[in-house]
Chain A
Amino acid sequence: MSRKRRHLRKPKRDRTMEDIPMTPMIDVVFQLLIYFVFTFEIPDILSRMEVFRPAPDQTQREPDENVRRHTIGVYWDQATDRGFFTYNDQRVSAQALTTRMGMIANINPEQNIMVLATANSYHRDLVFVLNLLHDVGLKNVALLSSD
């Protein structure tokens, strides 16, 4: 009797890849793929401009009048709600400022440049000046803020 039953049992089979249900895995994989496709975005390319802010030093002497200073002012015009620039207290256009800074850099790129930003000036105008100075190769830049 028992011998008969043993013969009736199904023969054991090796578990192969064909027996593993692939459908759930493919479902999950496609969900992942769809998520990544929809959230994929080419990243922004960013740049940085180092800001050197001189600390007030009581031991410093008065600036030497014989040393030529280069001061760029970043201002805001309330009437037009637009920014404007000055070079050594004279109002200049962005184009003229670019040309002037290029000339200074050609003479000596190690010269100290002071950027004076007023409180109400737009950040974009300051970034314009810092970008310009970096472009012409003037690295010794100090940022001063005024009210």
Chain B
Amino acid sequence: MKKRTPDAVNLTPMIDIVFQMIIFFVFTIDLDREKFDREIEVPDAERAEVIEEFEPATVYVQVMANGNIKIGATPMNQATFRNIIRATRAREGQNVPILIYGDGRARHRDLRRVMDICSEEGLWRINVIGMVQRSEGVQ
């Protein structure tokens, strides 16, 4: 009778499972969260319209608690923000949605500044983001 050595252990089922797990993680990875700063505490708004899908041309503006403006990970002043909005308007048209991801501790004047710039440059689809369910503590 042939003796079973460690080399003869069948690795196929393990590799199958590992690949299944990798496929799962690749398909469920959430790239959208990279759009927003994790330090921003968005106010709760459980009853508002849940965002199922982000439109591709959407401009995501973050307003920090101290009033600073960011797009993605890039902080910017008002002039730069205005140039970006102007360029977006010229490239995509006036139907581009603006999503404002504002910190609940920010003052209205800071968000108003963002909304004013968008309106002045001809982008009117302005939305304010609220939180329905946080992922904190789930990990």
Contacts and interface: CB of A to CB of B under 8 A. Distances in A.
Interface in B85-139: 99, 102-112, 115, 119, 124-135, 138-139
A116 B108 CA distance: 11
Given A42-B138, A118-B108, A123-B104, A50 B18 contact: no
B135 A43 contact: yes
Contacts of A48: 48-49, 51, 99, 127-130
Interface in A88-147: 117-124, 126-128, 130-132, 134-135, 145
A49 B32 CA distance: 19
Contact of A53 (B32, B33, B104, B115): B115
A130 B112 CA distance: 15
Interface in B6-35: 11, 15, 18-19, 21-22, 25-26, 28-30, 32-33
B139 A41 contact: yes
B127 A49 contact: yes
B75 interface: no
Contacts, number: 159
A41 B18 CA distance: 19
B39 interface: no
B3 interface: no
A20 B129 CA distance: 53
14 contacts: A29-B22, A40-B25, A42-B135, A45-B131, A48-B51, A48-B128, A49-B49, A49-B127, A123-B43, A123-B104, A123-B111, A124-B104, A127-B45, A128-B43
Interface of A: 22, 26, 29-30, 32-33, 36-37, 39-51, 53, 55, 74, 76, 117-124, 126-128, 130-132, 134-135, 145
